[in-house]
Amino acid sequence: MKKVIFCLLLIITISAWAQTKVIKTCNSIVNFDGESKYFNMMVFIDEDDKLSGNVEVSDGGVINYERVEKTTYLVREGLSASILESDQFDDDINDGERFIVHALAMESMMSSGIELKNVRSLTIYKFIEEGVNIGMTAFAEASDQKGDMMGSFMGGFFVSPCK
């Protein structure tokens, strides 16, 4: 009987896996308060082209997200962390630029691993948790003026390069 149950569970697992596939990952190590935490962020696509994801943390925790939003933004030249303290921050900035400005502000504590001032396009993978409006779990792929990929980095509360 145990073998039958095991086989059924295996078939269900394989069937579920076949219906979704990983399209993007961001593996990152964040050093915070003298402690290193490993993050593995994965974005899946199902047969209906819907994105979902999960985030695994080194302490064994896994958070599953039923929805991931993928959005690409143009990023203008000349952004700096000082924009956070100006009226321009709320009125004249898109979410991609907001992501870059936040990372620029965090640079002295946490590096994105890329030259943020050269980013001209940013694709953000935002992990959506229904009912939660505090902070953000996301990673982004940055491209330069020529459209060449510069790298990926985790953003939100922590900033760290994706490996």
The number of distinct structural domains making up the chain is 1
* pLDDT for 95 beyond 60: yes
| Residue 14: both structure tokens together | 């394989």
- Give the whole-angstrom CA distance, residue 6 versus residue 10: 6
The DSSP 8-state label assigned to residue 146 in this structure reads T
- pLDDT in the model for residue 131: 63
**What average pLDDT score do residues 146-159 get?**
93
Q: Which domain holds residue 48?
A: 2-161
- pLDDT in the model for residue 81: 86
Select from 143, 157, 55 the least CA-distant residue to 103.
157
> Is the pTM here over 0.95, yes or no?
no
Pairing of strands 121-128, 67-74: antiparallel
CB of 153 within 8 A of CB of 103?
Answer: yes
**What average pLDDT score do residues 37-46 get?**
94
Q: For a pLDDT cut of 70, what percent of the chain falls above it?
A: 80
| Residue 116: both structure tokens together | 């943020």
